[in-house]
Amino acid sequence: MSFDRTPLMRRLGGAVPEEELELFDSLGRIGKKYAIGHDLGEECRADESIMILQHGWTMTYKILRGGDRQVIDVNLPGDVLGMRQILFNYDDYRIEPITEVFAQKLPADIILRSLGKSPEIAAQVMWAMMSDSAFSPERLVSMGRREAPKRVAHFLLELGARLDRVHLSNKNGYLCPLSQTDLGDILGMSAVHVNRVLRDLRERDLLTFRIGKVKFHDREELNRYAEFEPSYMERRLH
């Protein structure tokens, strides 16, 4: 696998000089497939490693005392997994594949020492890890203030923008393995409510989410409707 073509390298947008890629390449080429339901977070905690997601989708979530599930994040190709589990007490948070995934597993101490040899790569990889935190404030705004159709539309646009960065979507939409129950657990809605909202968005001729595919009817109009401004996702580190 050529590392300048991996999702993480695409996500960095060519910010890492070609000569610096050899170091990242040396951290380990061999990845592994993980099945749906495998707890990647527990695996990272057990041997203090991190994972770079190369293919497939995972969800980070917590089971509440009453048995309800709250999804914290959806992890996409190019995301770095497990850092929270190593640095903080996140024992009750799971990182679970919702499709079969292929991930590169790296011991945290080795990668941190290796990144110390290359400030450029270290800065860019740190940005990749920390930029995921930018989604949380927008998610809070959505859950607290946006009406349900705009909340769903904003989240699906956010996923599209994230997939754009790793060349896994286009202006018309993307493949999406999330169920309506998943969307509800992410956005604080019931699956029945999500179904009604998706029907409403379809009838407004804004988007269709059906059989594992999100289709934008008019992305610019949808951006305006959902008040989606992707600048909070843009990299300011050069």
Mean of the pLDDT values across residues 155-179? 94
pLDDT of residue 161: 92
Mean of the pLDDT values across residues 133-162? 78
| pLDDT above 50 (res 165) | yes
Residue 66 CA, chain-centre distance (Å), reads 26
Share the mean pLDDT of the chain: 82
Mean of the pLDDT values across residues 56-63? 93
What's the pLDDT tens digit per position in 179-193? 999 999 999 899 999
Strands 101-107 and 93-97: unpaired
- Determine how many CB atoms are found less than 10 A away from the CB of residue 42: 15
Residue 74's pLDDT band, with cuts at 50, 70 and 90, is very high
Q: What does the domain layout of the chain look like in residue ranges? A: 3-133, 146-233
| Terminal alpha carbon distance of the chain | 26
| pLDDT above 70 (res 22) | no
- 3-133, what's its fold? Jelly Rolls (2.60.120)
Lowest mean pLDDT among 10-24, 48-62, 64-78, 173-187: 10-24
The 3-class SS string of 150-204 reads HHHHHHHHHHHHHHHHCCCCECCEEECCCCHHHHHHHHCCCHHHHHHHHHHHHHC
Q: Which residue has the higher pLDDT, 224 or 11?
A: 224
CATH of domain 146-233: 1.10.10.10
Task: Quote the strand ranges of the chain, DSSP E.
Answer: 32-34, 49-55, 58-63, 69-75, 80-81, 93-97, 101-107, 173-175, 207-210, 213-216
Q: Which residue has the higher pLDDT, 35 or 5?
A: 35
pLDDT of residue 163: 94
